[in-house]
Structure 1
Amino acid sequence: MIENLQEFCRLFYTSTFIPVNVCRTPGTVLYSYPEYQNSILNITSTLPYMLTFHKNPDYYLMESFCYFGQISIEGSDEFLIIGPVFSVPVTESSIRMFMKECGISMEFKDGITSFLNNTPRISFNQFTQTLAFLHLSLNNQTVDLARHFHLDDTPSLEEISTIHSSQIHDAKEEQLFHNTYSFEQQYLECVKNGETIRLKKLMDSVEHRLIMGKIGDTLLRNVKNLMIACTTLTTRAAIAGGMDIEQAYQLSDVYINEGEKMQSVKALATLQRTMIFDFTERVAKNKLPHGMSKEISDCIQFISQHTNELIRVDDVAAFAGKSKTYISQKFKKELGFDISSFIMRCKLEEAKSLLTYSDQSLSEISSYLCFSSQAYFQNVFKKKYGLTPMQYRNQTIK
């Protein structure tokens, strides 16, 4: 046992800023760090009675999704309670819920808000690792966290069925049923066909009326998971609509990664809507005829993925394993334009994207897309779009 427990706790707090309270059975708080002001004394005074622990060490997850942890000091009637800590930034609603759970009057809201905002956000894994560290420090015992907290346990089929049955029962009792399937089919059809106007009408008509599933422990995590699922479905629909496979997957990764960074449900909803329309508009811009053969579809994917190379008709024919004459005629018959025109179109579309979203110079873009010279790049760009590359960049910046 640590001889100077109070100094240990003080140092623990000053090095981690995780609140720590030393209590004595059956419910006395001996001292706390930080040294609380009157506005939050209610937290420490009710902690021993408010929380339920069953093992040493243990954690408690509240409805507001904040964590508390306990480490009992063996051979003593004293124990530590660490927390509250959150794994995500606190919101107005989570603060109110936390205060309600702790029985704290709303007159102390400013003090509680300041206290929670000054407490670091740590992941659940970090939190359990902290419990293990304290348990080792106080009791000289190591903990196999995965086994101790059953982190690697996989639910059995029977357990899954039990949970499923319970949720079905609750849904019927509350008359809250998933109603997204029909909407999903309709919006994915819009994405696949590149129908932005129809998509807007559809989304505006169902806003606020959709009941979605719960696939996350917190509201924010739930919305993030739903966005990941939505992005995955949208990506598949866009590919089916003719979008380049690699571009679609890369765009999907961008949206998912940006969503993971966000800490606002409203911002996530806006990003998700933007994502759906972005994919739909990209499909519309590159819409190809229905009934295209797999052979030509594969050629299109090959060209799109090699715009940064000196690609010619011979290269496309070699990829398809056909003669140059055969593949050229089939390409023209199915699409109405020749392979060379499509190669140039893909290069110029990528040039537009680089001019808009990168700070690469005209020389760098020309070289990257394998134009024979910067002058040639500028000439074919102006002939296609009526603007020089620099005029186009300046126009998009405005």
Structure 2
Amino acid sequence: MSKDNLEYIAQLVYDSFEIPIFIWDQQRQQIQQIGECITSPLFDSREHFIKQLIELEALKDTPLLHITNYLETFIIIHVSSNNVIIIGPFTNFQMTENSVDALIHDYRISRQYQAQLYQYYSHLQLLTQKQIVSLCSLTYFLIYREPLDIEQIRSQIFHLDTIENRQTEQEIRTLRLEHDFHLDHQIEQKIWQYVKEGKREKLLAHLESIEMDSMSRLSKQSHVRNMKNQVIIYIALATRAAIEGGLYPEIAYTMNDISIQKVEEAQDLQKVFLIGDSLLLALIDRMNENKMSMNSKLVNMCKNHIFNHIFEPISIHDLAQLVHLNPVYLSQLFKKEVGIPLGKYIQEMKLQEAQQLLLQTNHSIADICMMLQFNSQSHFTSLFKKFAGVTPKQYRKK
């Protein structure tokens, strides 16, 4: 693309969003600047900072979002081997004087910069996450004449740090602790509703509209602590919503705990507020994979008991006592609702757990057989082959 065309596109984007745009060549030389850019008083050199942005690892032709610890956002697009576009700074936080004071506190910034920082943040354009996606999409289309895959941007906004199934499965075998927090009622109800109903796209749209700094402050001094508290709040809310939607409680609470641990350990502010969004989407995905379905309360009680006590002997008589029903009637009710006999369901859940243990641990086949309370290894192998189509040893080698 010619230099003139690139400058023309940059001007169109600036006219639409009024956010400064820089065009640099691969020799790290600035070609053009569109719009007035107020430089942060914390930068020793704006040019040096932008050169650092250009060095960030990114796929060619894919917009890269970068959020600084000072809550400034930049978009970097490597247009070709010769040119790079930098859009920014802007922010997606409502930066009040209290917010700025919290940043000063967190990063031990000299108070001599306080007035300059107030002025700097007051001049930054405020964009919602939806507007950020639109900005990336418009710029991309003008450059390449084809639509941008929005998931490329959403994945940067909402999927910074995924929760691996193996990590969840490995920790799920320990007792979980429930967390109890509170959030603005309307925001809580929408998050609760979309997670509970498994509506991934509606949740994404709702998250794009949330301004984290518009919520109540849970730490007066520290912006980082406040962000961590807010993220922990809706992790806890979404966990309860996923359980209401049918996700097994032990899965939900394990994912809850893993995410909260990551939030507490995170030092990068960008990572802190993206971990929570990633957890919400992961909960929906796991819920749709593992939900207990729309069975009666008694059947769900049995299914949850089987899940939680998978490493213990489980009998139909024990389950009947749990729900205060006759064993024969419970078996008939379970088969009517689930479609398979209760005894076979218990067996299949144990065999599914055996599959996970074979793939995710180094336990011997004999140990797995004993852990899951099968009568003998030969009996276990026979049942497993009938269930999975291969022997346990063959399954582990897959």
* TM score, norm. by length of structure 2: 0.48
* TM score, norm. by length of structure 1: 0.48
